[in-house]
Amino acid sequence: MYRNKRSMELADVEVWDGNVANSHALRQASVDVVSAYPITPSTGTVEAYASHNANGYVDGEMIMTESEHAAMSGCIGAAAAGARSATATSSQGLALMVETLYQASGMRLPIVLCMINRALAAPLNVNGDHSDMYLANQTGWISIDACTPEESYDLVLCAFRIGEHLDVRLPVIVNQDGFLTSHKAQNVRPLSDDAAYDFVGDYKEVNSMLNFDKPVTHGVQTESDWHFEHKAKQNAAMMASPKVIEEVFEEYAKVSGRKYNMIETYKSEDADIIIVCMGTTYQTAQVACDKMREEGIKAGVVMPRVFRPTQMDKLVETLKNAKAVVCMDRSAPGGQTGLLYNDVTAALFNTPYRPLVSNKIYGLGGRDINIGHLSTIYKEAQAEVEAGKLDGAIQKWIGVRGPELKYYSVEG
Amino acid sequence: MAKEKVITPEQEAIAKSLYKSTDQFENSIWNMGWDELVPGAACFSFEGEIDHTVVNVNPEDRPNAETNSINKYVGDWRVVKPVWKVDLCIDCQNCWLYCPDTSIISRDKEMVGIDYDHCKGCGICSEVCPTNPKSLVMFDENTKNEDALTQWPEKNTKGE
């Protein structure tokens, strides 16, 4: 509830991987309770935080639990009691946590979850794709995506401010790509401990169980009599959160000089062909985009920085002048189109704007996506624009060995 | 022989006053839309803030909030109910001690009644009643209490 007594001297530029960056953000936010069950590739977040704890830089509690389900349960208990709480997980750990993710959001507890994205088994795989991010898509958690260690550091600090805001009071996931971000040491320009804590602020208790003057029950049962109203209230807070998120991003820009947006864009203003993607692919696509611009294709890249709640109006604003939009989903779609495709088409459907929208499934289980792949995607989309129609199917699988995979054929 | 136990009208009233129905609350949650509810379905026990001496106050006199479980009627969960024959009761308080739903109401270590708004008919009170015949006997929920009292079991004698 209060600033850690001991602060750490940090250089203007530190070389941290995404996990270490997370650990410093958690330390600087003076989290009261970190309850965790480490899993690759998010182990480093918990391990580095444990080092801070062992070295006396953490005044809060650190609990090692017996499973991810228990880790999130520990966070929920702590948050209901009136504590700032956080954890980290990936993949199967997130899957085991799912039941409690719904508890956390339904009980309106502003927990922060540092998620290092990793493929869901089977086959067992420790590398990065977005299937865990997508699994959490309807859990009622705000979901924000980072591409670099520095972004993850920044966004974890912002996540506390967003989730704990009295108009929001919802839990927040900060995603980053497994290994590509979590294990690649890069330059991070951290705030000082004092500046970071001043930004995050003291934790504001709401109906906490440790307030003995006003006894309260959390985690109650409601049936058809009350469940609907409580879900309506919870969703209303989610739908109102973008205003708060934008305010927090503005304020963070003032203290850090780094400005985040609900939707990040690269050369999309005048672009004909826009790739919509998330995570490290957003950076690779920028390089491919520049290359395409040199070759005369008006390319652009767009990334929903805030994945949930869905930013329909901003997606329309960003994509309305494009001739083709390629939605790239790094998650096995399970017999449907990917979530980015669904978000983009849903946003555009009730508007007059009709770019060609296609869906690429790519990078599953950490399969590399490189500038060559992305350049090919731009060129194929350009050809589709010239032909005035999609090349046979809405969904194509990119970079998979064997016969070409495409689904949802389109007429003509 | 101990004096036969009787219940005063005041004592009888206590057993009926624990539960408050929705229409007894000025700002009932049943008149609220989703926007007025407490976030996260947190349920308060008492109206406003309390001082910690509330534990010394009898339940019916506490500032119970509408969302306090005392105001949740669960009497219709029952299929059998305990009926109490006052004159047999020796106030041993076994039933009060063992009742899992605090539905045996006692004041000053004397039983005054059964809270039928919360009793779920588990039968533990009857099981632990030491008198012979029992002062608490389980009857079908639809049996009227005055009829039940006319069907009371006989005293058990040794060897039967």
| Model confidence pLDDT, tens digit, residues B93-136 | 999 999 999 999 998 889 999 999 999 999 999 999 999 999 99
The answer to whether the CB atoms of A169 and B39 lie below 8 A apart is yes
Rounded Cα gap, residues A155 and A174, in angstroms? 7
Q: How many CB atoms lie within 10 A of CB A406?
A: 17
Question: HSE-up of A348 (CA within 13 Å, CB side)?
Answer: 22
Selected for mutation to probe chain B from A233, A238, A239, A241 (highest B CB count within 10 Å) is A233
pLDDT computed for residue A412 by the predictor = 57
Per DSSP, chain B holds a count of helices (H) and strands (E) of 4, 5
Question: What residues in A contact B37, CB-CB < 8 Å?
Answer: 226, 229-230, 233
Length, in residues, of chain A:
412
Selected for mutation to probe chain A from B32, B37, B43, B77 (highest A CB count within 10 Å) is B43
Lowest mean pLDDT among A25-34, A256-265, A314-323, B46-55: B46-55
Confidence of residue A392 (pLDDT cuts 50, 70, 90): very high
Q: For chain A, report the end-to-end CA distance as a whole number of angstroms.
A: 62
The answer to whether the CB atoms of B52 and A212 lie below 8 A apart is yes
The answer to whether the CB atoms of A207 and B45 lie below 8 A apart is no
Rounded Cα gap, residues A366 and A182, in angstroms? 13
C-beta separation of A34 from A46 below 8 A: yes
Question: What residues in A contact B45, CB-CB < 8 Å?
Answer: 215-217
Rounded Cα gap, residues B77 and B116, in angstroms? 11
Question: What residues in B contact A220, CB-CB < 8 Å?
Answer: 41-43
Mean predicted confidence (pLDDT) in A338-351: 97
Question: What residues in B contact A109, CB-CB < 8 Å?
Answer: 40
Quick one: B76 exposed, middle or buried, by C-beta within 10 A (0-12, 13-18, 19+)?
exposed
C-beta separation of A12 from A151 below 8 A: no
Q: How far is B85 from chain A (nearest CA, A)?
A: 36
Q: Smallest Cα–Cα separation from B103: which of B85, B130, B121, B90? A: B121
Selected for mutation to probe chain A from B34, B64, B77 (highest A CB count within 10 Å) is B34
Quick one: A254 exposed, middle or buried, by C-beta within 10 A (0-12, 13-18, 19+)?
exposed
Torsion of CA A131, A134, A136, A137, to 10 degrees: -170
Question: HSE-up of B35 (CA within 13 Å, CB side)?
Answer: 1
Task: Report the predicted TM-score, pTM, of the whole model to 2 decimal places.
Answer: 0.92
Rounded Cα gap, residues A72 and A50, in angstroms? 17
C-beta separation of B16 from A197 below 8 A: no
pLDDT computed for residue A174 by the predictor = 98
Lowest mean pLDDT among A40-54, A286-300, A327-341, B70-84: B70-84
- Strand ranges inside A277-323, DSSP E: 299-304, 306-308
Find the closest chain A residue to B40 by CA distance.
A107
C-beta separation of A163 from A169 below 8 A: yes
Question: What residues in B contact A108, CB-CB < 8 Å?
Answer: 39-40
Check the CA dihedral A51-A55-A59-A62 and report its sign. positive
Rounded Cα gap, residues A316 and A52, in angstroms? 44
Quick one: A401 exposed, middle or buried, by C-beta within 10 A (0-12, 13-18, 19+)?
exposed
Lowest mean pLDDT among A3-7, A232-236, B17-21: B17-21
Q: What is the DSSP letter of B46?
A: B
Rounded Cα gap, residues A74 and A296, in angstroms? 55
Residue with tokens 């058809």: A224
pLDDT computed for residue A71 by the predictor = 98
A21 alpha-carbon distance from chain centroid: 15
Find the closest chain B residue to A237 by CA distance.
B39
Rounded Cα gap, residues A408 and A396, in angstroms? 9
Selected for mutation to probe chain B from A205, A221, A226 (highest B CB count within 10 Å) is A226
Rounded Cα gap, residues A233 and A400, in angstroms? 44
Q: Smallest Cα–Cα separation from A351: which of A382, A320, A380? A: A320
| Model confidence pLDDT, tens digit, residues A97-112 | 999 999 999 999 999 9
pLDDT computed for residue B135 by the predictor = 96
Mean predicted confidence (pLDDT) in A41-66: 97
Mean predicted confidence (pLDDT) in A39-43: 96
pLDDT computed for residue A108 by the predictor = 97
Q: Which residues of A touch B (CB under 8 A)?
A: 106-109, 169, 206-207, 212-218, 220, 222, 226, 228-230, 232-234, 236-237
Rounded Cα gap, residues B147 and A25, in angstroms? 71
Question: What residues in B contact A104, CB-CB < 8 Å?
Answer: none
Torsion of CA A146, A147, A153, A157, to 10 degrees: -20
pLDDT computed for residue A318 by the predictor = 97
Confidence of residue B55 (pLDDT cuts 50, 70, 90): confident
Q: How far is A87 from chain B (nearest CA, A)?
A: 21
Rounded Cα gap, residues B135 and A253, in angstroms? 75
Mean predicted confidence (pLDDT) in B17-36: 85
Residue A411 has pLDDT above 80, yes or no: no
Residue A47 has pLDDT above 70, yes or no: yes
The answer to whether the CB atoms of A230 and B43 lie below 8 A apart is no
- Strand ranges inside A46-139, DSSP E: 61-64, 85-89, 112-117
Domains observed in chain A: 14-256 (3.40.50.970), 263-409 (3.40.50.920)
Question: In this complex, which of B32, B41, B52 lies closest to A220 when CB atoms are compared?
Answer: B41
| Model confidence pLDDT, tens digit, residues A180-225 | 999 999 999 999 999 999 999 999 999 999 999 999 999 999 999 8
Question: What residues in A contact B63, CB-CB < 8 Å?
Answer: none
Q: How far is A189 from chain B (nearest CA, A)?
A: 37
Run of H or E including A176: strand A172-177
